[in-house]
């Protein structure tokens, strides 16, 4: 990304976020290889990288590089959509270094300090938030994520408010604010296991199959506007339709996680019905991408970006859509619950997120 090719100079603050996302993604792959090999060779590096610590690093890196990718994408997209410079580029860079250093220290803590000791040192007795999958972060790290998210949202929101308002930037803002608000449930860790799992899914599911869909829809729409030359009004109509279906099915589709955790039986009906509808927005996104490319008015030189957008929409539909549909129906989930099918259908969802920083 060269400064001379940018429409607005403040878009350059996205570059370190993209670099960090790529580096952290590489780290996630490496730690994934380590824990995968430890399944085969049980004593491999366990004296230096225990399995439980490596797994925490692996899953937490997934969340962090995606957040860096989302933030970098927003810093690149919003000035161009708003037709104005970023509200505060220096603040954006400051938040980048604060977030990166805080996450690095957290990872070091996972690797060199026993988890129980880390909880004791970081004040988990004051507010118990640790010990849950994907949300293992110590209390200071969680608070730091909230501070960084609020600073980021302030910067992006002020940029949108002072410039042009578009459907793409509005949907992106909705998704980013939703992402931050849903994370607040990570601070709720009740003693009742049923309530605990319910609030946990408010973060994990409503991120992946709720607000992330808004963010990804906005990013895909931006890419298609820039690469196809199709009228913005046409793309906006598709975007509104997709996010409406994504929110309706995604929010109530959370019920497929409530089948067997102690919540009322009506969730089996709600979860099954709306989970069966969840592939629809994924399919609409695929049709959206191919339809816009087919109707393009010009040939964009960056064909790789176009192919990547098409590929991500297809993989998202096949994996997160169809594969998810297969095992989220209550009668099927009764047998697949807790198996590797969950991870297998989640991977394409992660792959489609890669377009956020392509």
Q: pLDDT tens digits, residue range 259-286?
A: 988 899 999 999 999 989 988 888 888 8
Please state, in angstroms and as integers, the Cα–Cα distance from residue 94 to each residue in 37, 64, 85, 243, following that order: 38, 17, 17, 32
**pLDDT lower than 70: segments of the chain:** 1-4, 340-358
In angstroms, how far is CA 13 from the centroid of its own chain? 20
> What's the confidence (pLDDT) of residue 2?
45
In angstroms, how far is CA 71 from the centroid of its own chain? 11
Taking the CA atoms of 66, 352, 30 and 54 in sequence, report the sign of the dihedral they define. positive
Residue closest to 111 by CA, chosen among 68, 67, 55: 55
> What's the confidence (pLDDT) of residue 306?
85
This prediction has a pTM of 0.88
> What's the confidence (pLDDT) of residue 113?
92
> What's the confidence (pLDDT) of residue 355?
47
Q: Which domains can be identified in the chain, with CATH numbers?
A: 14-120+130-165 (no CATH), 171-358 (1.20.210.10)
CB 147 within 8 A of CB 133: no
């Amino acid at each position: 990304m060269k400064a001379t090719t940018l429409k607005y100079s403040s878009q350059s603050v996205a570059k370190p976020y993209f670099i960090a996302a790529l580096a952290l993604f590489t780290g996630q792959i490496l730690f994934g290889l380590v824990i995968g090999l430890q399944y085969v060779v049980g004593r491999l590096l366990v004296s230096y990288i225990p399995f439980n610590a490596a797994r925490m690093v692996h899953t937490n890196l997934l969340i962090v590089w995606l957040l860096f990718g989302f933030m970098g994408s927003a810093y690149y997209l919003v000035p161009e959509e708003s037709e104005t410079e970023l509200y505060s580029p220096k603040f954006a860079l400051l938040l980048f270094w604060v977030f990166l250093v805080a996450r690095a220290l957290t990872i070091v803590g996972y690797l060199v300090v026993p988890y129980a000791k880390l909880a004791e040192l970081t004040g988990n007795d004051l507010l118990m938030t640790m010990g849950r999958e994907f949300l293992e972060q110590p209390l200071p790290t969680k608070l730091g994520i909230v501070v960084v998210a609020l600073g980021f949202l302030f910067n992006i929101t002020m940029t949108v408010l002072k410039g042009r308002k578009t459907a793409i930037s509005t949907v992106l803002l909705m998704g980013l604010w939703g992402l931050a608000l849903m994370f607040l449930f990570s601070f709720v860790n009740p003693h009742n296991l049923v309530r605990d799992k319910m609030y946990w899914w408010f973060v994990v599911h409503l991120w992946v199959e709720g607000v992330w869909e808004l963010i990804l829809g906005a990013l895909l729409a931006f890419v298609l506007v820039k690469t196809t030359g199709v009228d913005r009004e046409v793309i906006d109509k598709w975007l509104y339709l997709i996010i409406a279906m994504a929110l309706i099915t995604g929010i109530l589709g959370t019920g497929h996680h409530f089948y067997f955790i102690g919540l009322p039986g009506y969730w089996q009906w709600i979860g099954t019905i709306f989970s069966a509808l969840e592939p629809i927005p994924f399919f609409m996104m695929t049709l959206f991408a191919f339809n816009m490319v087919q109707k393009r008015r010009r040939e964009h030189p960056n064909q790789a970006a176009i192919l990547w957008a098409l590929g991500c929409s297809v993989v998202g539909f096949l994996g997160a859509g169809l594969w998810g549909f297969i095992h989220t129906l209550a009668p099927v989930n009764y047998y697949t619950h807790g198996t590797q099918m969950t991870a297998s259908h989640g991977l394409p969802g992660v792959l489609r997120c890669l377009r956020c920083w392509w």
